[in-house]
Amino acid sequence: MSEPPRIRAEEILVRYGKIIALDSFTASIPHGIVGILGPNGAGKTTFIKVLLGLVKPERGKFTINGRGAFDIRDIVGYMPESECLIESMNAFEMVSYMGCLSGMPVEDAIQRGHEVLDFVGIGEERYREIDSYSTGMKQRVKLAQAIVHDPEVLMLDEPTNGMDPEGREEMLELISRIGKFGKTILVSSHLLHEVEQVCEYMIIIDQGKLLKEGDMEKLLSPEAGRYRVKVRGETEAIKRFYKIIRERYKPVQVVNERGQGTIVLKGVDNSEHILRTAREVGVQIRYYRPDILSLEDVFLETFAGGNAHEN
């Protein structure tokens, strides 16, 4: 992260009645495509709404490109998770109208409206009223209205919601292509593979707290001493193997299937010990390699709080 962070949030506290939506939330979000991950109700949408000034925090402050909430609205594009399109208009009218509201002269908004609708893949359907659109088309129009004024910062709340697999891929492709133009794009999602596919940086939220953040490349890079071991044998023998191994290494993931077990270990400095233990307890090692992390592993480990999660 060579550039200074584009978005800084410090000690943000948001409460809805007794429910704490953001609990002293602090994060520094860099330039690029940034994934905000977390289960439903984690506080992802609330965080975006705070940044937009749509929810007023009880405490804390934040800046976007060094500016406060209202000052940044011209340079921010927002694609909400929920339905938000003006159904009495057609897509073209709505997108150009939103462009005008974001400060574009009418002629520019008209031209740009056509451009962004072409970009998101809405063809002649742009002249149809929005209430006749499929969910996928509505998502595309929502993206179009968010980018019509060429914002520096784009906030996309569950952008692939309700889309079919092909539509999802296309939406992610669009996000990647916008990201190449030097934008900061916040993508809130609970779908890990989507975030893994397009994001360069990731923050994980749960119960209104920041659990983890970092460059995707670093988070997913193989860690020294982290090994994935798959063993086969009697259930009792596998249990014994796990028990002995746990005494020396820290397991981060344990999966048991019938007659086969997978254990991911951290801090492995001596393979000989593992191989010898397997021989002694009578299990067969079928796989033993440095572990390549997926976002799912990072996510599950973060939620397990450093303890092994067992399936």
Partner 1 sequence: MRIDPIEYTPWNGERTGLILRVFVIIKKIFKQNIKSKGVLVLLILGIILAHLFPIMSTVFIPRERLSADIVNTYMKDGFFALFSILLAAVVTSSLISSDYQDNSFVLYFSRPIKPAVYMFSKLFGAALVMALFCFLPPIIYCITVMGTQTGPDYWSGLKVTGMTVAAGLLTVIYFSSMGLMLSSLTKRKAYAGVGTFIAFLAPMTLSEFFVNFNVKWRLLNPIVILHYSFDLIYGFRLPDYIEFHEYLLSFLAYLFIPMAVTYYILQRRAVGK
257 is a contact residue toward partner 1 (CB under 8 A): no
Instruction: Using only the alpha carbons of the chain, give its radius of gyration.
Output: 24
**Nearest residue (CB) to partner 1, 187 versus 281:** 187
Q: Is 10 exposed, middle or buried (0-12, 13-18, 19+ CB in 10 A)?
A: middle
Which of 201, 161, 282 lies closest to 31 in space, CA to CA?
201
CB of 194 to partner 1, least distance (A): 19
Q: Which of 10, 23, 115, 169 binds partner 1 (CB under 8 A)?
A: 115
101 is a contact residue toward partner 1 (CB under 8 A): yes
User: Restricting to residues 47-76, which ones interact with partner 1 according to CB under 8 A?
Assistant: 49, 52-56, 70, 73-74, 76
Helix residue spans in 215-290 (DSSP H): 216-220, 235-248, 271-281
CA separation for the pair 187, 194 (Å, rounded):
9
**Nearest residue (CB) to partner 1, 10 versus 108:** 108
What beta strand segments (E) does 103-237 contain? 153-157, 184-189, 201-206, 209-215, 227-232
288 is a contact residue toward partner 1 (CB under 8 A): no
Q: How far is CA 276 from the centre of its chain?
A: 41
Confirm if 154 and 186 have CB atoms less than 8 A apart: yes
80 is a contact residue toward partner 1 (CB under 8 A): yes
User: Restricting to residues 169-208, which ones interact with partner 1 according to CB under 8 A?
Assistant: 177-178, 180-181
User: Restricting to residues 122-151, which ones interact with partner 1 according to CB under 8 A?
Assistant: 145, 147, 149-150
Identify which range of 78-86, 196-204, 265-273, 277-285 contacts partner 1 by CB under 8 A. 78-86
Confirm if 188 and 44 have CB atoms less than 8 A apart: yes
Identify which range of 2-10, 46-54, 207-215, 302-310 contacts partner 1 by CB under 8 A. 46-54
Q: Which of 25, 47, 62, 78 binds partner 1 (CB under 8 A)?
A: 78
**How many chain residues bind partner 1 (CB under 8 A)?**
42
CA separation for the pair 141, 146 (Å, rounded):
9
Torsion sign, CA atoms 115, 116, 119, 124: negative
18 is a contact residue toward partner 1 (CB under 8 A): no
In the complex, which residues of this chain contact partner 1 (CB under 8 A)? 16, 49, 52-56, 70, 73-74, 76, 78, 80, 82-88, 97-98, 100-106, 108, 112, 115, 118-119, 145, 147, 149-150, 177-178, 180-181
